[in-house]
Amino acid sequence: MTYLLALDQGTSSSRSIVFDAEGRIVALAQQELPQIYPKPGWVEHDPMEIWRGQLATARQALAKAGLKADAIRAVGITNQRETTVVWNRKTGQPIHHAIVWQDRRAEATCVRLREEGLAGMIQAKTGLLVDAYFSGTKLKWILDNVPQAREQAQRGELAFGTIDSWLLWQLTAGAVHATDVSNASRTMLFNVHTNQWDPQLLQMLDIPPELMPAVLPSSAHYGEVRPELLGHAVAIGGVAGDQQSALFGQACFKEGMAKNTYGTGCFMLMHTGEKFQVSHNGLLTTSAAQPDPRTEFAIEGSVFVGGAVVQWLRDGLHAIKGSGEVQALAQSVPDSGGVMMVPAFTGLGAPYWKPDARGTITGLTRGTTVAHIARAALESIAYQSAALLQAMSRDAVAAGAAPVSELRVDGGACINDLLMQFQADLLGIPVVRPAVIETTALGAAYLAGLASGVYRSTTELAGMWRAERRFLPTLGADRAAALMAQWEHAVRQTVLP
């Protein structure tokens, strides 16, 4: 038997999954990742905690599978994107906590870039809108605020990376400082047309090029896991940011195919082939996972708070004891009773891009119960995703392509049937849940499998994809449109005066 190991380092947990060559899960291990909130709007992780947790789950997954590391053909890495780490090349120690993708502290830098009229140039080179979401301004903040950081960086003593680079460095004992095109494309420092770090963008944020990792295709030889970590040296053959990895794991290899991942946030991507297409509807253009040096692109929309709203119900409101209870609580009422929740805890992402928005609950009456709020919270995930798909379809039609005809879904919250049915009702198209919903990890395994010869082509991988359930719309188009109008009204009420 041939096995592949995927390391899936996410925002709220680190996981490792052993897959067989047919893409079936053999064993899974998971460890929660503590969140650090130093100030309002700031979110951090301990990079050493990320590394320890990821290594522990890799060992646990192998043990659960009853396998030794020499049975693993290759390792693939997928990761929370944009989260920024800077570490000392000599000691391997981070000089600051990782600044998480949700963190908003760099917004002042973004305001300056917009005021200087640089937004158009940045979007033309990177496909991205100017926002504190991306790694470049987080990196600038670390260099500006950690004592001696900039001087050390200029002397070549420091390394920058997103979480994939951090894990690669640790797995290879500092032998490899690299990233892949999909992660690089999320930094606001990478020219997606040339697949290189852009000197003008680096200079714009005063970032020394000595900090930057090498950039490789998503499927490539990234070195080897040092033998003392897992008991045997194993090739690292695939790296991709979590959302591009999920697009790959969903076998969305052709123009017009789309997926939505329901995780801490929600992330919808539509493959656009080799065509770089700038969105006119508040979405991003990003590099897709690239199995070879050819450039491939996707249009993406990001919801900052998706499944995290269920965590808030649990930890903030204490409405539920465990996340698994939310569906039963929400289904205890026939609808939300007119309650609308906009979970703009860290601003609103695509297609709104309102960093100053804050969460609201509207439509409350004396008859409102915690069940209505739970239902509104769950439905907010679908409303935000529907706004993304509508924007995506407008972009597709403007580019002369057909609108999205079905949506493939994955991520932890896609197991919620109530949410998936409501999503199909709002969208008016089928929502398709695959047999393997761990598509983020599966994409990393597929990329590693391509690099190591387990698979011959993406055509072979497309033939392996299987649907588990199709959710068909049951609401009329007029009713769905009326609900979306109510949602947009609620969104307009979230911006502080």
The domain locations on the chain are 3-241
The rounded percent of the chain whose pLDDT value lies above 70 is 100
Q: Answer with the residue of higher pLDDT: 16 or 311.
A: 16
pLDDT at 426 over 60: yes
For residue 273, name the pLDDT band (cuts at 50, 70, 90): confident
The CATH superfamily of 3-241 is ATPase, nucleotide binding domain (3.30.420.40)
pLDDT digits (tens, 9 = 90+) for 392-408: 888 888 877 777 889 99
Which residue, among 405, 384, 375, has the nearest Cα to 342 in the 3D structure? 384
pLDDT at 326 over 70: yes
pLDDT at 111 over 60: yes
Structure token pair of residue 448: 């590693």
The mean pLDDT of 444-448, rounded to a whole number, is: 97
Which residue, among 325, 291, 305, 250, has the nearest Cα to 452 in the 3D structure? 291
For residue 497, name the pLDDT band (cuts at 50, 70, 90): low
For residue 254, name the pLDDT band (cuts at 50, 70, 90): confident
Q: Answer with the residue of higher pLDDT: 374 or 322.
A: 374
Average model confidence (pLDDT) for the chain?
A: 93
Which residues are registered as beta bridge partners of 180? Answer: 216
pLDDT at 485: 94
The mean pLDDT of 481-489, rounded to a whole number, is: 93
Q: What are phi and psi of 98, to 5 degrees?
A: -65, 135
pLDDT at 291 over 60: yes
pLDDT at 4: 97
pLDDT at 220 over 80: yes
The mean pLDDT of 129-142, rounded to a whole number, is: 94
Question: Do 227 and 202 touch, CB atoms closer than 8 A?
Answer: no
Model pTM score: 0.88
- Asked, as a colleague might, if the bond just before 38 is cis with ω within 30 of 0, I would say no
pLDDT at 183 over 90: yes
pLDDT at 496: 62
The mean pLDDT of 56-84, rounded to a whole number, is: 96
Question: Do 292 and 361 touch, CB atoms closer than 8 A?
Answer: no
pLDDT at 14 over 90: yes
Largest CA distance in the chain: 64
pLDDT digits (tens, 9 = 90+) for 451-477: 999 999 999 999 999 999 999 999 999
Q: Answer with the residue of higher pLDDT: 46 or 310.
A: 46
pLDDT at 152: 96
Beta strand 297-303 pairing with 266-273: antiparallel
Which residue, among 382, 314, 369, 371, has the nearest Cα to 342 in the 3D structure? 382
